[in-house]
Structures are given as C-alpha cells and as structure tokens.
C-alpha cells in the first residue's frame, strides 16, 4: 500500500479489510471503521469471494455464510446491523437498535442512502462497487454517519446534507467533525458522457479536474467532488481523510461495476463502541 493511503489494510487469515486509523483516537470512546475487500468469503464466479450484496443474484446461502464469516472475524451478531436500502438518492435516516435486522430475514430500513446514529454498539452498513463511501464521526457529541455517494447522490449533495442532519439532530459542529472518503472508482477509470459532464460543470464551479478522452468523453474525480462539498459544508480540510485506492484499478482487493459489470458488493461499516 502507498504510505500516504489513509485507509489501513488488515488481515485475519484470508479475510482482509480496511479501516481508518485517523478516527481511532479522535474521541473519548472508540469508533470502529471498516471497508471490506473481496477476499475471504465463499461466493463463486463473478461474486468471488466475499460478496456482501444481499440483492445480487448470488446464492443466498453463500451471502449468508459470507456475513457469518464477517461476524465471526469481527465478533458481531448477524442481526445487529442497521442495513441501508440504497436507491441513489439523498435520503438520510436516523437509526436506533430497533432498526437492526438482517435483510435476508427481514428488511427494516427502506429508501435510505445514508444513516446516522448516536446509539452505541449499532453498526451502520452501506454497500459499494465503485461509488463513494462517506464516513462521519463527531468526537465531541459522539455521533456517527455513513453515506453512499454515487454520481447522483453527489450531485444531490448527500455529504453536506448528512452534516446538516447531524447538526440538526445532535448539535454537531461541522468544524469539529471528521470525515473520510473511502475506496471508490478514481478519475483514472471513471469516464462519463456529455450529459453527466454538463451536470457536474454546472454544480461544481470549483472543480477543475476535467480532462477529455479521445472518445469525446470526460474523466471525473468523484472523491474530489465530495471533498469539495464537505469543505463547503463546514468540515475543515485537515479533518477530511481521502483514500487514493481505486476500486477499478485494484482487482486484487475490490469489486468494480465499471470494470466487470456483473459483480459483488463491498460494505462499509462504522460503529460507536
């Protein structure tokens, strides 16, 4: 791994995951952070091997076993998670322990691309195969958040809206809030057409990272766009930790919808201890 990478790789046998060391010592209590790799599970074919997407066409027995592996490795209960239900929008839900359930048994949360909570021992979980994971930690009020930001969610400003929701619900001071932008498709691999280019050109006046490809399309840095939005939302630049890991480039660790089409899903997790 690059020494400047803000997400740290951890190994428990074949089970590998990333966490955010910068979050670890920021508050009075511990916060657990996690981003899965594709390694250490039992799924096969295009879902090989740790597919955590409950709505994919993967064998549900394999998906359940993948979660049981994750829970054994990390000492979680399979029904303890608050699962998002992502629709590429900007819906944000405050959740509690009563919202926890395993979707293959029962879905309790609907139409939410972002979750926030001040409950302890409640792991929030969202899903990815190129889109941008946004982690939030308020070490003063001891509040966490997690958001899924595809290009549509980014245009809808889901990141700043999470900051605003945390401020309204918990009294979070954006100037003291920590944020992390996780592994996701990089500008090296994320090509968009004229329609998306024009939308971003209009919405992101300060973004200067465009360059045109030979096919008259454009390469887009979604991580930078989200970082700009979070800064404009009041988070200090020094408190935003950005991964440089591209999910499309790093097939060894990551699924990528843009690279492979039919593929599995990663999960991001954050939890107050």
Per-residue pLDDT tens digits for 114-155: 999 999 999 999 999 999 999 999 999 999 999 999 999 999
**Percent of the chain clearing pLDDT 90 (strictly above):** 91
**Assessment of whether the complete model's pTM goes beyond 0.95:** yes
Where are the chain's structural domains? 8-184+239-272
Residues 208-227, mean pLDDT to the nearest whole number: 90
pLDDT at 213: 86
Question: In 3-state terms, what secondary structure has residue 55?
Answer: coil
Q: Please, which residues have CB within 8 angstroms of residue 199's CB and are 6 or more apart in sequence?
A: 155
* CATH, domain 8-184+239-272, list 3.40.50.720, 3.40.50.2000, 3.60.140.10, 3.60.20.10: 3.60.140.10
What confidence tier does 26 reach under pLDDT thresholds 50, 70, 90? Answer: confident
What is the DSSP track for 91-146?
-EEE--GGG---TTT-----SBSEEEE--BT--EEEEESSSEEEEEEETTTTEEEE
C-alpha span between 238 and 102 (Å, rounded) = 36
Q: How many CB atoms are located within 10 Å of the residue 202 CB?
A: 9
What confidence tier does 1 reach under pLDDT thresholds 50, 70, 90? Answer: low
pLDDT at 212: 87
């Amino acid at each position: 791994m690059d020494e400047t990478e803000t997400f740290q790789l951890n190994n428990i046998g074949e089970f590998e995951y990333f966490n955010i060391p910068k979050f670890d010592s920021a508050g009075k209590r511990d916060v657990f952070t996690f981003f899965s790799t594709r390694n250490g599970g039992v799924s096969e074919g295009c879902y090989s091997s740790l597919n955590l997407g409950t709505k994919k066409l993967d064998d549900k027995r394999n998906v359940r076993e993948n979660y049981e592996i994750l829970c054994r490795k990390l000492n979680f209960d399979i029904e303890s998670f608050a699962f998002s239900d992502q629709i590429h929008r900007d819906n944000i839900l405050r959740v509690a322990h009563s919202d926890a359930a395993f979707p293959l048994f029962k879905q309790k949360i609907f139409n939410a691309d972002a979750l926030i909570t001040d409950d302890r021992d409640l792991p929030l979980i969202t899903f990815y195969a190129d889109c941008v994971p946004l982690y939030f930690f308020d070490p003063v009020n001891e509040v966490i958040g997690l958001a899924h930001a595809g290009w549509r969610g980014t245009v809808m400003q889901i990141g700043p809206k999470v900051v605003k929701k945390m401020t309204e619900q918990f009294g979070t001071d954006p100037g003291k809030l920590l944020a992390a932008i996780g592994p996701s498709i990089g500008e090296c691999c994320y090509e968009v057409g004229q329609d998306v280019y024009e939308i971003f050109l209009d919405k992101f006046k300060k973004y200067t990272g465009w360059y045109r490809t030979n096919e008259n399309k454009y390469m887009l840095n979604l991580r930078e766009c989200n970082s700009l939005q979070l800064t404009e939302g009041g988070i200090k630049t020094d408190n935003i930790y950005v991964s440089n890991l591209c999910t499309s480039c790093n097939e060894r660790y990551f699924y990528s919808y843009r690279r492979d089409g039919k593929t599995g899903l990663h999960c991001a997790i954050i939890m107050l201890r």
